[in-house]
Amino acid sequence: MVARMKRILVNAEAHPDALKILEDNGLEPVYVPESDVEGSLEEARDSVGVVANASLSFDEAFFELAPEVKVIGRMGVGYDNVDLEAAGRHGVRVVNTPLSIIEPVAEHTLMLMLALVRRVVVGDREARAAVFRQPSNNPDFELLGKTLGIIGLGRTGLRVARIARLGFEMEIIYHDQRENTEAEEELGARRVELDELLARSDIVTLHVNFSPETEHLIDSVALAKMKRGAYLINVSRGAVVDETALVEVLRSGGIAGAGLDVYEEEPPAADNPLWELPNIIVTPHRAGFSTEGVYGSSMVVEDMVRVLNGEEPRFPVN
């Protein structure tokens, strides 16, 4: 009787090369779309690992349901859907791919910044309706020499800072728990308190992990401190921003606009008031995706194999 191969639940859009790596190591990848939560949980019962995105919640209930799981491979950098304490209690290692999403997220951030100030979406819509050279489609200010406030100056925030400083000569100020001497020496960046950043920045961009400390970090009080005419970019996690407060400030003109790739509820409800706002640009939580980014994130399987072979992973979360 041939022994059954150990199974890996693939619950994300992994590159074919990643599936081959699993197979070459005697593992059977079983793909279940992340939208199929029930099917994913059923498959997890017999799996030793999960290639994961953000949809499943890896909590105490999950680990009790799937006692054979030994490793969670989180594609990308975020792991707020993983209860690390519960994982530890069940002897489950968690790994991620913190380097693969740096470039696509940074480029997406700059894309949102440019699309907002150049009013690209409005311009596209009105050009199709033959509405040319009207005040409604006039671009806003140039990025050149403006102040960019970065909340969370980790790897991705630093890449955004480099593009903004070297490409657009923007002044960089940042708020972070840690001082970033590299950014300060190379880019002239200055670390400031959150209130100063909000008050001075022409554009505020968020690059923080989600945690109890960052939940609704940008609330009605914070939004009221932003410059009138400033823009907010969120490519981190939806709950870092109080959406209700954001809708109100955008309706009132307290800030000029916002670029959002993440939301408090994903996907947002059809009646979410965000959809009524003309001064936002929205994308479907795809900032971390690119051809190269998907490939790099898929290589989380290499660390999963290491864990299953009793070796230490390159990028451990716990």
The SS3 assignment for 155 reads helix
Is 90 part of the annotated catalytic residue set? no
Nearest to 308 by CA among 97, 99, 91: 91
Catalytic residue from among 108, 165, 175, 285: 285
Catalytic residue from among 119, 200, 237, 306: 237
Rounded to 5 degrees, φ, ψ at 203 are -135, 135
Catalytic residue from among 85, 182, 266, 292: 266
Here the tokens at position 92 are 């489950």
Q: How far is CA 79 from the centre of its chain?
A: 10
Fill in the DSSP letter of residue 268. P
Contacts of 25 by beta carbon, 8 Å cutoff, 6+ apart: 305, 308, 309
Is 74 part of the annotated catalytic residue set? no
Is 216 part of the annotated catalytic residue set? no
Q: Is 95 exposed, middle or buried (0-12, 13-18, 19+ CB in 10 A)?
A: buried
Here the tokens at position 234 are 């969120």
Q: Among all chains, which residue has been given the structure tokens 């790739």? A: 261
Name the CA radius of gyration of the chain, rounded. 21
Contacts of 104 by beta carbon, 8 Å cutoff, 6+ apart: 287, 288, 289, 290, 292, 293
Strand partners, 247: none
Q: How far apart are CA 191 and CA 177, in angstroms?
A: 10
Measured CA angle at 135 (ends 132, 139), to 5 deg: 90
Positions marked active-site:
237, 266, 285
